[in-house]
Amino acid sequence: MALDPTSLPQHVAIIMDGNGRWAQCQGLPRVEGHRRGAKSVRTVVRAARELGLKALTLYAFSAQNWRRPNEEVGLLMQLLHDYLIEERSEIMENGIRLTAIGQVSRLPGFVRDPLDALIADSAGNSGMTLCLALSYGGRESIVEAASALAQKVKSGELSAADFSENLFSEALQTGHLPQLDLLIRTSGEQRLSNFMLWEASYAELCFTETLWPEFGREHLLACLEQYGHRERRFGQTGDQLRPAIRSVG
């Protein structure tokens, strides 16, 4: 499948859903679904880089996922640790910049240490940015940004009159990323689940029935092709966006 490079989104985010259901369909424990899902992460990150995306954000662990059984949380943390160790060479060799959003301080030390190290070591890379949403919540992110701006007003560093959408966007943890163009959710669910609520306000949404452990390069390409056929109007009409066709007399 050939894609027009000019029609590619700059920033794609994915809600990676369906690991548990995939395992259930296979007659396997949930943990096996997560292990298989980790392989899809590797495949999709590699495909996104090769296709030329500027930024890819993966919803890896939500702020609400801490409520899951301890055994499952422990496995997810171990898989994240393994990913950071095993993919370090590929990330560095391909010029990928790794970043993270969310309450990263809540992660256990054996995950946070390699995460912090790879973020620091890859900071100068100029290729695709890979952003991991870890212990992340969209509402929590908005509250955090609002609180930070309120503190600046209180200290006199900022005036309330200076508030704007751009200022607020820059205050979010995603302020270093391009505007979100496309948000994909796997497994057939059609909700945002507290993910990038502010950032997704004008993003195109793509919901696929494919469970995350089965999501690969061809599925990403299908979503990108679908995006390429969307007309993004941002409040305008289609006629305003299309150049006028002048008749030749």
Looking at residue 118, which CATH number applies to its domain? 3.40.1180.10
The domain in which residue 16 lies consists of 8-137+179-229
Q: Is residue 56 part of a domain?
A: yes
pLDDT bracket for residue 248 (50, 70, 90): very low
**Catalytic site residue from 4, 17, 121, 181:** 17
What would the pLDDT profile of 149-201 be if each residue is shown by its tens digit?
999 999 999 999 999 999 999 999 999 999 999 999 999 999 999 999 999 99
Residue with tokens 């990928």: 96
Specify if 1 maps to a domain.
no
Residue 15 has pLDDT above 60, yes or no: yes
167 falls within a domain: no
The residue-averaged pLDDT of 111-139 equals 98
* Closest residue by Cα to residue 206 from 225, 178, 193: 225
Structure confidence at residue 197 (pLDDT): 98
Q: Does residue 242 lie within any of the structural domains?
A: no
Number of domains in the chain: 1
Q: Contact at 8 Å (CB) between 16 and 37?
A: yes
Which residue in 181, 169, 128 sits closest to 12, CA to CA? 181
The confidence band for 247, taking pLDDT boundaries of 50, 70 and 90, is very low
Give the C-alpha separation, 53 to 47, whole Å.
9
Residue 164 lies in a domain: no
CA torsion through residues 208, 212, 213, 219, sign: positive
**Cβ(175)–Cβ(169) under 8 Å?**
yes
In a domain, residue 162? The reply is no
Does the residue 3 lie in any domain?
Answer: no
This prediction has a pTM of 0.91
Residue 64 to residues 90, 102, 215, Cα–Cα distance (Å): 30, 11, 24
Contact at 8 Å (CB) between 185 and 211? no
**Stretch 24-28: mean pLDDT:** 96
Q: Which of 65, 94, 125, 194 is catalytic?
A: 65
Q: Does the active-site annotation cover 82?
A: no
Q: Is 121 an annotated catalytic residue?
A: no
Residue 230 has pLDDT above 90, yes or no: no
**Residue 67 backbone class (left: φ over 0; alpha: ψ -120 to 50; beta: rest):** alpha
Mean pLDDT of the chain: 93
Tell me the pLDDT tens digit for each residue of 129-149.
999 999 999 999 999 999 999
Angle at which helices 30-51 and 217-228 cross, to 10°: 50
Q: Is residue 249 part of a domain?
A: no
